[in-house]
Structure formats: C-alpha cells, structure tokens
Amino acid sequence: MGYRKFTAEHLFTGHRLLKNHVLVTDEKGMVEAVLQAAEAGSDIQTFPGILAPGFVNAHCHLELSHMKGAIEPHTGMIDFLLGVMGRRFVEEDTIFQAIADAETAMFQNGIVAVGDICNTVHTIPQKIKQRLYYHNFIEATGFLAATARARFEAARDVGQRFREAGVAREKNTSLVPHAPYSVSPALFELITTLEGNELLTLHNQESEDEDAFFSAGTGGFHRLYQALGLDISFYKPAGKSSLQTCLPRFHTTQSLLLVHNVTTSEADLQFIRDQQPQLPECHFCLCPNANLYIGNGLPDIDLLRRYAVPLVIGTDSLASNHQLSILAELNTLRLHHPEIPVEELLQWATINGAKALRVQHRFGSFEKGKTPGVLILENDLSKVQRLL
C-alpha cells in the first residue's frame, strides 16, 4: 500500500496547532498517523501555511441556492422570511443547477460534511453523487395546533423520498422543528417523540423579535402571521425567552444543534447550565455572515466562550449569504474578534462540527482510520486549497 505524506509550517490536528509534524495518509486519504518530522522519512510534500482537516458546515440550506442575490441585504428578519417564502418556487432546472453549483463551491472551499436543512426533495439528485457527506435535517413548520399532524406527516413524506432514493439512512437523517416561532407545541411533541429521532436542530433566537414574541407577545412576528393569513389570537406569551420556553420540549437522549443564537443571553446560558441534567446536549452554531446579511447583528461570542459552550460554524443559505465558505465565516469572526486564537476557530470549524453532526469517527481531525479531507490554508486564513 502506498502512502502520502504532507507537512506545512503548522499542522492543525483538529485539536492543536503543531510545528515540525507530518501527516501520513493512504492513497485514498485515510489517516495513518501524525508523526514528528524527524520520524517521517522522505517523500514528504511540503506547503506554506497550515495543514488542516476538511471543514464541517454545520448549518446550510442547499435547496435555497437559487435565491443567491435575490433578497436585498439588511431587510430584517420578518421581511427576509417573507422574501424566502415568496421565492421558493421557480423552474426546477434553475433550482437543480444552483444546487449543483453551490455544492461544487463548498467542495472547492474545503467543506467535507454538511448539516443541511431540507423542506423539499430538490437536493436528492445532487446528494446521490456523494461528493460530500450530508446530515439531512428534514424540517417541519406549523404554528397552528390543528395542522400539527398534517405538517408532521408531510415532513415524514419528504424523508421517505430521501430514503427511497438511497440518500437517507438511519444515522444521517432527522425530522426537525424549524424555529420556536413557527412550530406549535403539538408539532414539537410529534417531532421530539418520534422513535430514533435523536440528532435535532433548531433556528434559535435569530432576532430580537423572537424573544419579544415569547417574553411579552410583542414584536414583528405578528406582521409575519398577518401576512400569512394566520389567526394567532389564541397565543399567550410564555413570559420568558424562546430558548427557555422551547428547550425543555426536547429530551435528554437527544442532542440539539442551536443555530444563530444572536440574542442568546447570560440568563439563557445559566438556565442551560442549571437545568442541564434534564436538557439535551446542545451545540451552538454561529453563522455570522448570514446574521450580518439579514441585519440581525452578531451573537455575544464573548459570552458564549465564557460559558464554554461547544461552538460550531455554518454558512446558512445563499439567500442570506454571498458564498458558502467556512473560511469566510472564520474571517468575519476574526474581524470582529481578533483576540480569538486561530487554533480555537479551527476547532469550531472541524472537530466541533463533526461532533455536532455525530460524525467525529470519520471527520474533524487527523486521527488514525479517519478520512477527514486534507486542506492547506494560508497563515492569515485568506485562502484554502483542497489537497484531498
């Protein structure tokens, strides 16, 4: 069996930045070892920059790729949601081509695994090609209790289409709620009690309107429901944040990927810390470029780091981003938080994301037996090249 050997100024293992180390893989990219340079022998490919495992995009909407540039930046949350709903349905050939182009861009940008939100079956033809690993989060929405069963079954039908195509398997597909403001307690109950439905995700506290709606019954979501023709006169605010309202609806056997977290507060994080034995395991996904595109601002990253919650990185969709690039997300974080060490940022983009998607046995780090992909990054994170 032939081996390939790679080294660079720095080698990031998925956990640590090392100097004077060599990555050894087989011809197909399976990791054999990380060795000190003095022990690695000859025939070593040497690069400037940082050698790193492939990136994990923990939150994406590949099916929305045809909306690139269609929604103006800085609309705010409500008008953004209305814009997405009004642009979902175009010619299928346009949708399929945009999906293919977006996946190629992710591949070239060093992404190896994706947590992908699915409301339709449009991504199936591309996913059959197995260029990237996908966890398919089949999404359900419906704020009216009367529609809960029908919305749940519709989402299950989408999941069945994925299974029939051979794209969905037991461990890489889940049925998930969209957001606290768009899923009724009855629909939450159907989703969280579905047998085997263990890895879930939720759009969480993406805007101030969300917490206002849950804590006081105020904010812009009334305009959203009015535009959708929904009578929500039955609704009574919980008197607490959306996160504190919804998190207890999940189960301790489940793990939950909380996405956006723009208005997540210290009270919310303390709530999780205090209630942890009764709550699911939580990962917090940052999508900074999407937050800035929509105009919601950035999460309190200092607070999230202070509470030592597991952080991962997502791109969101091309409806709310100019590109699907984890490196672009890291550079936005560096611009606003230059104090965060590169080693920590790369952990969020690799091993943490792999753990959040429960694929750390394959991706996220250079450990024997894994096939995590091999990237070379510029030292200033300005560019990525995929080697394997």
Q: In this structure, are 190 and 219 located in the same domain? A: yes
Give the model's pLDDT for residue 251.
Answer: 96
State how far the Cα of 302 lies from the Cα of 298, in Å rounded to an integer: 11
The lowest-confidence range among 79-83, 134-138, 327-331 is: 79-83
Q: Could you tell me the residue range of the domain that residue 1 belongs to?
A: 1-53+364-387
Find the mean pLDDT for residues 349-359: 99
Chain position carrying tokens 């507060």: 265
Query: Which band of pLDDT confidence, cut at 50, 70 and 90, is reported for residue 1?
Result: low
Q: In this structure, are 253 and 373 located in the same domain? A: no
Query: Which band of pLDDT confidence, cut at 50, 70 and 90, is reported for residue 144?
Result: very high
Give the model's pLDDT for residue 131.
Answer: 97
3-state secondary structure of 286: strand
How far does the chain reach from its first CA to its final CA, in angstroms?
A: 17
> Phi first, then psi: what are they for 305, rounded to 5°?
-70, -40
Find the mean pLDDT for residues 355-379: 99
Close Cβ partners of 338 (under 8 Å, ≥ 6 residues apart) = none
CATH code for position 36 = 2.30.40.10
What's the mean per-residue pLDDT of the chain? Answer: 97
Q: In this structure, are 379 and 289 located in the same domain? A: no
Q: In this structure, are 358 and 372 located in the same domain? A: no
Of 49, 61, 135, the residue nearest 99 (C-alpha): 61
Q: In this structure, are 206 and 62 located in the same domain? A: yes
Q: In this structure, are 6 and 148 located in the same domain? A: no
State how far the Cα of 67 lies from the Cα of 152, in Å rounded to an integer: 26
> Phi first, then psi: what are they for 170, rounded to 5°?
-55, -40
Report the percentage of the chain scoring pLDDT > 70: 99
Give the model's pLDDT for residue 86.
Answer: 85
Predicted confidence (pLDDT) at residue 170 exceeds the cutoff of 70: no
Of 124, 134, 33, 52, the residue nearest 359 (C-alpha): 134
Q: In this structure, are 89 and 6 located in the same domain? A: no
Q: In this structure, are 339 and 351 located in the same domain? A: yes
pLDDT digits (tens, 9 = 90+) for 234-254: 999 999 999 999 999 999 999
Q: In this structure, are 313 and 376 located in the same domain? A: no
Q: Do the beta carbons of residue 99 and residue 124 sit within 8 Å?
A: no
Question: How many domains does one find in the chain?
Answer: 2
Close Cβ partners of 306 (under 8 Å, ≥ 6 residues apart) = none
Q: In this structure, are 8 and 70 located in the same domain? A: no
Q: In this structure, are 290 and 378 located in the same domain? A: no
CATH code for position 122 = 3.20.20.140
Close Cβ partners of 234 (under 8 Å, ≥ 6 residues apart) = none
Q: In this structure, are 267 and 169 located in the same domain? A: yes
pLDDT digits (tens, 9 = 90+) for 286-331: 999 999 999 999 999 999 999 999 999 999 999 999 999 999 999 9
Q: Which bin fits 106, alpha (ψ -120 to 50), beta or left (φ > 0)?
A: alpha
